[in-house]
Chain A
Amino acid sequence: MIQLLQYLKDYKKDVIITPVLVALETMGELCLTLIIGHLIDELSNSGTSMNTILSYGFALLLVALFCLIFGTVSGLTSTKAAAGLSKNLRDEMFSCIQDFSFTNIDKFSTNSLVTRMTTDVINVQNATMMILRVAAKAPISIVCALFMAFFTNWQIGLIYVVLIPILFFGLTWIVRLTHPIFHRVFKIYDRLNGVVRENLHGIRVVKGFVREEHEIQKFESISSEIRKNFTKAETMIAFNPFLMQMGIYSCLTLIAWFSAKAIVGSENGTILAGIAMTTGELQNFITYSMMILMSLMMLSMIYVMLIMSRESVSRIQEIFAEKANITSPAHAETNIGNGEIVFDHVGFSYVDDPSNLCLSDINLRIHSGETIGIIGGTGSGKSSLVQLIPRLYDVTTGTLTVGGKNVKEYDLDQLRDAVAMVLQKNVLFAGTIKENLRWGNKDATDEELVEVCKLAQADSFITAFPDGYDTYIEQGGTNVSGGQKQRLCIARALLKHPKILILDDSTSAVDTKTDALIRKAFSSYLPQTAKIIIAQRISSVEDADRIIVMNNGKIDAIGTHEELLKTNKIYQEVYESQQKGGNEDE
C-alpha cells in the first residue's frame, strides 16, 4: 500500500488532512459522550434547574456542530484522495502498458491487464477511502475509552484487558483463514473474464458451429467454482460479527454482575469493598464497551481491507515494475534516409533465447522501391521476419539496418512512421471510417482520404454505405466484411506515405482481380517505397521483383517467379497445388 503513495501526486494534502480531521471529529464525539453522561447525572438529580439543562444543551449543540463540520470535510477529502489515487494509477498503468513491447505483454495476458486496471484499482481505491476514514478513528477511540474506563474503575476495566486480545486475535485469525481463498477467487475471476472474452471475440464461430451449449457449460463450471470459493470464504467471515457480538455481550454480562457486586458491596462494606462505583458509572461502562468493540470491529475491517488490497497492490506493482524493453535510444537518429533494409545474420527468438530460434541466419538486402514477395507455410517465420523491421520485436542475434543505420539507433516513433505495416490480424477501432483512416495521418484532408481509399479499392464500397466515410465502425470492425476491413487497413497504411510498406497476408479476403489492382496502385503511388508482400497465393507475389521462399525460419530461396518455378521445390509444390485447386477466389 505504502509503495503506491507516490502516485498520489496532487492529492497528497487530502491524504494528510483527512486523518487530522477525523481525529478532531473523534475527539468531538468523545466530548459529546462525556457531556451526555453528565447531563444524565444532572437529570437524575431532582434539584436541576432549567438553566443547567440549557447550558448543557448549548454545549452539546456547539460540539455537535464541530463534529458535523470536521466529519463532512473529512468525508470529502478522503473521497478526493482515494478517487484521485485511483485515477492516477489508471493513467500511469495505461501509459506503462502502451509502452510495453510484446515480450513485456506476453508475460501478462490481456485479460489480466484489464482486471488489473479495473478491479484491482477499485479495490485499492476502496481500501484507501476506508483506511483514511477510520484509521485515525479506531485507535483514538480505543485508547480514550480504555483510559476513561480505567479511570472510572480499574478493576472492572481489567475485563477489557482480557477480552480485547482474545477478540483481536480471533478476528485476525479469521482473516488469515479467508485470505488464501480470496486469493484463489481472483485467479478464477481472471479465468471467467477469459471465457467471456473468448466467447465475445469468437461469437461468430460459436454461432456458426452451434457451440453455444459447450460455451455455456464451460462458463457454468467456472461460475460455480467462484460460488464455491466465495461461499466458503464468506461463511467463514460470518464468524466475524458473531465473535464481535459474543465479545460485547460477554462484556455487558460481566460488567452487570461485577458492577452490581461493586456498587452494592461498597455500600454494605462487605463484598468487593474498595471498588466503589455508581449507577451512572455503570452506564458509562456500557458506553465504553460499545466504543471499544466498535473500534475493534473497524480495525479488523481495515485489516481485511489491507489484506485484500495487498493482492491488488502487488498485481498493480508488477505492471510498474515491468520495464519496457524496446525504447528509443538516448540520442536517437530521427531521419530515416531511404527504405533500404539489410538483414545481416539475423536470428530471432520470441523468448530471447539464442538456442531456441524461430528465425535463423537471415541474410537479405532489400532496396528502396523494390517489391519483395514472401511465400512459405505456416510457422515458416514470415510474420516474425517482417515484425523485426518496425521493432515490434528486437533481433536476438545479428543486426538489422534500415536506410544504412541499425534500427536500434532510430527514434522509435520516427522508425515506425517510416514503416507502414498492415498486419495479418487486422484491427479497426470503434469510430467512423474517417477517424480510423486518420490513424495513418491525423492531419490528412478528406481528399487525401478518398485518394488512398481509391488506391486500396475501398472507395466504391465506402460510398455505397448510407453514411459514406462517416460510417461508424464497431469495435474490432465487426460490421464490415473481412475483405472490406483489409482494404480499409491498407488505405490507412498508405496514408502514412511510408518508406517501407509491409503487407502481412493482408489481401487474403480480397478477390484476385482487386488484389492485382491494389498492387498496381502501390507501384504508381509509392515508387520509392520498399514493398514487402507476404501472401499465401502465388498470384499475389508473382509479379514481384524478387520472391523469398521461407521454410522453418530460414530463407530457402530467393528469385523471380520464373527462376523459382524452375529451381525451387517448395515454390513448385505451392504453385502446382494452387493451379490444380483452381481456387482463385479462396
Chain B
Amino acid sequence: MNKSKKGTMARLMEYITARHKKEFAFVVICILISVIAAMLGNSIMQIIIDDYILKMLNTKEDLFSELLSVVFVMAMIYFFGALGTLFYNRTIAKIGQKVLNEIRDDLFAKMQTFPISFFDSHTHGDIMSVYTNDTDTLRQFIAQSLPMMISSMVTIVFAFCFMLRFNLILTGMIVILSVIMVGTARLLVRYSGKYFTKQQDSTGILNGYIEEMFGGLKVVKVFCHEEAAKKRLKEINEELYINTLHANGAAGVLMPILSGFGNLQYLVVAIAGGAMALFGEGMLSVSLGTLISFLGLIRQFTSSITQTAQQMNSAVLGFAGATRIFELMDNESEKDEGYVTLVRAVENEAG
C-alpha cells in the first residue's frame, strides 16, 4: 500500500518511464534532436544573412558555391530534425497506448478482487466512466501534451542560454516578466484544473445516472417517472455545464492572456533595448544587431512558455483522469481468507 502514498504523477511516470525505459529514452533523444535542429537552422539562417548575403553585398565577392553547401547543410539539419519529430511522435504514441492498455488491464484485474460492498457503494456508470472518459483524457496527455511539454521545455532552456549570452540586463527583464507571466498562467491553470476535476466528477455522476435510468427504464415507464427523471438529469447536466464553463473558460482565456504577455515582453525589450542602443554606455550599451537577434529569441522563448502553459490544461485534465483511475485502483481488495470463506458459504447454501 505504499503505492497510494505516492503522488499521481510519480505513479503515472512509473507506468510511462519505468516500464518503457528504452523507448522513453529514445523519445527524449528524438525530441532533443528535433529542438536542436530547429535552433541550429535558425542560427544558420542568421549566418546566411550576415556572412553571405550582406558580405556579398559589401564585398561583391561571389560566394554562391559556398552558400550552396551551407544551404545544403541547413537542409540536412532540418531533415534530421523533422525525422526526430516523426520518430518521437510515433514512439510516444506506441508507449501511450501500451501504458493505457496496462492501466486498463491492471484496473480491471484489480477490480475483480474488490469485495461486493465496493460494487454496492459505486454507481456502475461512474465506474464505467473511469474506463472510457478518464483513460481517454490520459491518452491525450501522454500522446500529445507530454512530448510537447518536453520539447517546449528544452526550447526554453536553449533560448534562455542564448539570451544570457547576448545581454544580461535584457535577459533580466525577460526573467522578471516571465515570472509574472508564469504566475498568472499558474493561477489560471489552477482555477481551470479545479473545475476540470469537478467536471470529470460530474461527468461520472451523469454517467451513473444515465446508466441507472436506462437500465431501469421499464420501471421508470410503469411508474410514469419519465418527467421526474428528465428533471433530475437537467439538474445534473446543469452542474456539469457550469463546471465545463469554468474549466474551459479559464483554459480559453489563457492563450490570449499569455500572448498578451508575450507582446508586452517584446514591447518592453524593444523600447528598453532601443534606448540602450541609442543612449546606453558601458554595461548598458547594446548593439543593434544583438537587439534584433534578441527580439527574435524572445518570440521563441515566450511562444514556448505559452505552449507549455497551454499543455498544462490538458495535463491537468489528464491528471484528474489519472487520479480517478488510481483512486479506483487503490480500493481495498477482499482479504485472502475471504475468498475461501466465500466458496464455503456457497457450499453451505447448496447443501
CB of B216 within 8 Å of the partner chain: yes
The answer to whether A200 and B220 have CB atoms under 8 Å apart is: no
Contact indicator A235/B90 (Cβ below 8 Å): yes
- Say whether B233 faces chain A, with CB atoms less than 8 Å apart: yes
* A50-B278, A230-B97, A286-B45 as given contacts; A114 in contact with B217, CB under 8 Å: no
Whether B49 and A279, one on each chain, are in contact in the complex, defined by CB atoms closer than 8 angstroms, is yes
A67-B256 contact, Cβ under 8 Å, with A114-B214, A200-B127, A253-B75: yes
* CB-based nearest A residue for B67: A260
Which residues of B sit under 8 angstroms from A413, Cβ to Cβ? 224
Q: Is the CB of A79 within 8 A of B48?
A: no
Main secondary structure of the interface of B (DSSP, over half): helix
Q: Is the CB of A84 within 8 A of B131?
A: no
Contact partners of A582 in chain B: CB under 8 A:
none
Contacts of A257 in B (CB 8 A): 67-68, 71
Q: How far is the CB of A207 from chain B (nearest CB, A)?
A: 7
Question: Which of B48, B64, B121, B132 has a CB less than 8 Å from the CB of A256?
Answer: B48
A91 close to B101 (CB less than 8 A): no
Partner of B292 from the list A44, A210, A419 (CB cut-off 8 Å) is: A44
Contact status B252-A75, CB under 8 Å = yes
Residues in B whose Cβ lies below 8 Å from that of A129: 248, 252
CA gap between A226 and B135 in the complex, in Å: 12
Q: Is B222 a contact of A263 with CB atoms below 8 Å?
A: no
B346 within 8 A of partner (CB): yes
Q: Does A192 contact B (CB under 8 A)?
A: yes
Contact assessment for A216 and B127 in the assembled complex, using a CB-CB cutoff below 8 Å: no
- Whether A118 lies near B129 (C-beta < 8 A) is yes
* Chain A residues closer than 8 Å to B214, beta-carbon distance: 97, 105, 110, 113-114
The number of chain A residues touching the other chain, given as a range, is 35 or more
User: Is there a chain A Cβ closer than 8 Å to B321's Cβ?
Assistant: no
A107 contacts the other chain (CB 8 A)? no
Smallest beta-carbon distance A24→chain B, Å: 12
B residues near A (Cβ < 8 Å) are: 34, 41, 45, 48-49, 52-54, 56-57, 60, 64, 67-68, 71, 74-75, 78-79, 81-83, 85-86, 89-90, 93-94, 96-98, 100-101, 104-105, 108-109, 111-113, 116, 119-121, 123-125, 127-129, 131-133, 136, 139, 143, 203, 206-208, 210-226, 228-230, 233-234, 237-238, 240-241, 244-245, 248-249, 251-257, 259-260, 263-264, 266-267, 270-271, 274-275, 277-279, 288, 291-292, 295, 342-343, 346
Complex A-B: 5 CB contacts under 8 Å:
A90-B237, A114-B210, A256-B45, A390-B222, A430-B123
Q: Which residues of A contact B (CB under 8 A)?
A: 25, 29, 32, 36, 39-40, 43-44, 46, 48-50, 53-54, 56-57, 60-61, 64-65, 67-68, 70-72, 74-76, 78-80, 82-84, 86-87, 90-91, 94-95, 97-100, 102, 105, 110, 113-115, 117-119, 122, 125, 129, 133, 189, 192-193, 196-197, 199-201, 203-204, 206-208, 210, 212, 215-216, 219-220, 223-224, 226-227, 230-231, 234-235, 237-242, 245-246, 249, 252-253, 256-257, 259-261, 263-264, 267-268, 271, 279, 282, 286, 390, 392, 412-413, 416-417, 419-421, 423, 425-427, 429-430, 439-440, 442, 474-476, 478-479, 492, 496
